[in-house]
Amino acid sequence: MNTPDEEEGCAGCKAASTPKWRQDFPIEWEGDHYVTRREMVKFLTLGSLLLASANWATVVASRLLHRGSHVERYIGSTAALEKAGSMLFRYPTDRDPCIAVRTPAGKLVAYSQLCTHLSCAVVYAAAENGLFCPCHHGLFNLAGQPIAGPPTRPLPRVQLEQRGDQLFAVGMEAL
Amino acid sequence: MSLRQQGTTLFSAMLAFVGAAVVLQLWLLTVSMEALLSGAYKTLIPAAIGSSVLLLVNAGLLRYVLRFDRDAHGE
């Protein structure tokens, strides 16, 4: 068994025989990809920063999408609506289908035609006195509220203005 | 248990905590994206605040690690 002095001397010999470049760069090639716990904590904190930023980006995106619309657009005549019971139109752009209905109480209402479940087109169902989604049998009442099926959110309402025989869409509330 | 072993355990625990917090943030981001696409905007701000709180906790732990290293090297 070696004495402590002999062991220390041997270690000293080993250090002396190690080249200077090895002392400056003590990491082996195989150990190059080894990540210490400290580096991992730094990396995860950076990831945490990115994730928090992405979360706030969704808030900003929602503000941009949540603006609603206040474009004025002619949608048809009241005579056409009375004849068919309901009327389809596009508002605020040609890509946004909407539906106008005269309620049994005589009130004129209009909503986006896109079901709030999976965006199928709702149709007027006089028998149910509501707006029916044929894809998954969702049903909205004429106040736009979901009353049956998978939808849980109301239909966005379109504000209408009647000028004589003409109907205009003048605004749409945001989703 | 030696001081070095205690330190190793402590840093392992911190790493596990930070990792769990990041996984939670990933889940919050998933929820936010789903809420954004489905129009349920009320969820977004609480999720963003939660994610920011987790970020602050993680940043605090990282600061602790860096200060610990600095003090250790200072000695």
The closest CB to that of A51, out of B11, B22, B44, belongs to B22
ipTM of this predicted structure: 0.89
Q: Looking at the complex, does the CB of residue B36 fall below 8 Å from at least one CB of chain A? A: yes
Query: How buried is residue B43: exposed, middle or buried, by Cβ count under 10 Å (0-12/13-18/19+)?
Result: middle
- Work out whether strand A108-112 and strand A157-163 pair parallel, antiparallel, or are unpaired: antiparallel
Q: What is the pLDDT of residue A10?
A: 57
Written as tens digits, the pLDDT of chain B (75 aa) is: 676 677 778 888 889 999 999 999 999 999 999 888 777 788 899 999 999 999 999 999 999 888 887 887 665
Cα A97 vs. chain centroid, distance in angstroms? 20
Is A117 labeled as catalytic in the residue annotation? Answer: yes
Please give the single-letter amino acid code of residue A108: L
Residue A2 has pLDDT above 50, yes or no: no
Average pLDDT over residues A131-156: 94
Q: Which phi and psi angles does A108 have, rounded to 5°? A: -95, 120
Q: How far apart are CA A1 and CA A46, in angstroms?
A: 51
- A33, A66, A70, A117: which is the annotated catalytic residue? A117
Phi, psi at A121, each rounded to 5°: -85, 125
Check residue A89 and give its pLDDT.
Answer: 93
The pTM for the full model equals 0.58
Q: Which stretches of chain B are DSSP H helices? A: 3-38, 44-74
DSSP B42: G
Mean pLDDT confidence for A94-120:
91
Q: CA A151 to CA A75: how far, in whole Å? A: 27
Residues A112 and A172: beta-carbon distance below 8 Å: yes
Chain A's closest residue to B60, CA to CA, is A45
pLDDT of A173: 77
Nearest C-alpha neighbor of A150 from the set A122, A124, A125? A122
Tens of pLDDT, residue by residue over A28-87, are: 766 666 667 788 889 999 999 999 999 999 999 988 876 667 788 999 998 888 887 899
In sequence order, what are the residues at sequence separation of 6 or more whose Cβ sits closer than 8 angstroms to the Cβ of residue B62?
A: A41, A42, A45, B18
The question of whether A136 is a catalytic residue gets the answer: yes
Question: B36, B66, B71: best mutation site toward chain A, by most A Cβ within 10 Å?
Answer: B36
Tell me if residue A34 falls in helix, strand or coil.
coil
Tokens standing for residue A146: 């979901």
pLDDT band at A135 (very low <50, low <70, confident <90, very high): very high
Three-state helix/strand/coil letters over A87-148: EEEECCCCCCEEEEEECCCCCEEEEECECCCCCCECEEECCCCEEEECCCCEEEECCCCEEE
The residue written with tokens 């954004």 in the block is: B36
What average pLDDT does chain A have? 84
CB contact under 8 A, B52 and A59: no
